[in-house]
Amino acid sequence: MQTIRSSEITPEHIYLSRRKFMSSASKVVLGAAVMTACSRQSDSTDVSLDVHNTSVGVDELGDSWTSYESIANYNNFYEFSVNKERVATMAQDFKTSPWEIDVGGLVKNPGRYRMEDLLTKFDQEERVYRLRCVEGWSMVVPWMGFPLKRLLDEVEPTMNARYVRFETLYDPVQLPGQNDGWYSWPYVEGLRLDEASHDLTILATGIYGRTLLPQNGAPVRLVVPWKYGFKSIKSIVRIDLVDQQPVSLWMRAAPNEYGFYANVNPNVHHPRWSQDTERRIGEMGRRDTLLFNGYAEQVDSLYSNMDLQYNF
């Protein structure tokens, strides 16, 4: 189990902002990690998951956080390299400041947000989430960030807005992978507006209380824990509210393999491999993959009338 205390390694701006959050945390919205933790662990005396203590080192299912070293050195970020072990080195000089995100489309108050604005305007919270890659590996990541809904509330989507479209920086000089003509750059992802507004959906700005590293999508990335990792788009520069379902980079590249929804689902297999099990980074063997990555209680109502085999 991880023993690093976030407070020992947290940059001051995030730490202070988190303290602010923690001190008002009687309302406790640390998300799924905490909501189900109370019920699960009420019959266990040796694991106490204190919602006021962010350094417990396990998620609400009792799974240990993946080590910082693994999270920082085993990455998918095709703009740098398709080799997971090379991404960190390739990304080390990536310029993440100054950074701005344009938020627009079908909104009443379009705006350009500087990174500093996002960090001060929205309290940064710790959210411990499982990340399940479509390739069949997974991690448990203690993110720092804030619910995307806070930002959406600021810009006020209009009545016609039904989806949210996200875009990564396009800069083939800094992001050499964007010279690879196989994919349609920049990386694009999308969510339905109700998915984007769900409390579990966050914009992440840190990991283990530290500022996000370039290889993890600095300075700001999406995290949607019940979906395959590829939905969690990195290094975002544009967010648009739109009325049509966005076409993501992966849907464009292989529409029969990657759908719009991409919910983690052991009953719907990738055409080329099974999704029954996964390898948790740092563990031996494989473990069963959980429906909606273990967040079914929180999110299955979003899909109640849908055929998930068809809407994969």
Sign (positive or negative) of CA dihedral 111, 115, 116, 120: positive
Does residue number 219 form part of the binding site for ligand MTE (CB under 6 A)? no
Does residue number 167 form part of the binding site for ligand MTE (CB under 6 A)? no
Contact segment (CB under 6 A) with ligand MTE among 75-83, 120-128, 254-262, 278-286 equals 75-83
Look at the block and give the residue holding tokens 């800069």.
Answer: 171
Tokens (6 digits) for 231: 């939905």
Compare residues 237 and 291 and give the one whose CB is closer to ligand MTE: 237
Of 54, 66, 232, 263, which one interacts with ligand MTE (CB under 6 A)?
Answer: 232
| CA 41 – CA 144 distance, rounded (Å) | 24
Does residue number 216 form part of the binding site for ligand MTE (CB under 6 A)? yes
Does residue number 91 form part of the binding site for ligand MTE (CB under 6 A)? no
Residue whose C-beta lies closest to ligand MTE = 229
Does residue number 75 form part of the binding site for ligand MTE (CB under 6 A)? yes
The full DSSP string for 223-267 is: E-TTB-GGGS--SEEEEEEESSPPPPHHHHH-TTT--SS-B--TT
Does residue number 77 form part of the binding site for ligand MTE (CB under 6 A)? yes
Site string for ligand MTE, 101-140 (x = CB under 6 A): ------------------------------x-x-------
Does residue number 289 form part of the binding site for ligand MTE (CB under 6 A)? no
Site string for ligand MTE, 171-190 (x = CB under 6 A): ----------------x---
The full DSSP string for 84-145 is: TTTHHHHTTT---SS-EEEEEESBSS-EEEEHHHHHHHS--EEEEEEEE-TTSEEEEEEEEE
Contact segment (CB under 6 A) with ligand MTE among 37-45, 52-60, 231-239, 285-293 equals 231-239
Compare residues 85 and 117 and give the one whose CB is closer to ligand MTE: 85
The gap between the terminal CA atoms of the chain, to the nearest Å, is: 34
Compare residues 10 and 81 and give the one whose CB is closer to ligand MTE: 81
Does residue number 230 form part of the binding site for ligand MTE (CB under 6 A)? yes
Q: Give me the least distance between CB of 12 and ligand MTE, in Å please.
A: 24
Of 76, 81, 138, 298, which one interacts with ligand MTE (CB under 6 A)?
Answer: 76
Number of H helices, E strands in the chain: 10, 12
Compare residues 55 and 73 and give the one whose CB is closer to ligand MTE: 73
Q: Give me the least distance between CB of 233 and ligand MTE, in Å please.
A: 5
176: closest CA among 80, 78, 75, 77?
Answer: 80
Q: Give the H or E element holding residue 70.
A: helix 68-73
What is the CA angle 75-76-81, rounded to 5? 100
Compare residues 10 and 235 and give the one whose CB is closer to ligand MTE: 235
| CA 24 – CA 41 distance, rounded (Å) | 23
Distance of CA 210 to the CA centre of its chain: 16
Does residue number 234 form part of the binding site for ligand MTE (CB under 6 A)? yes
Q: Give me the least distance between CB of 4 and ligand MTE, in Å please.
A: 18
Cis peptide before 98 (omega within 30 of 0): yes
Q: Give me the least distance between CB of 206 and ligand MTE, in Å please.
A: 12
Residues that bind ligand MTE (CB under 6 A): 75-79, 131, 133, 168, 187, 216-217, 229-230, 232-235
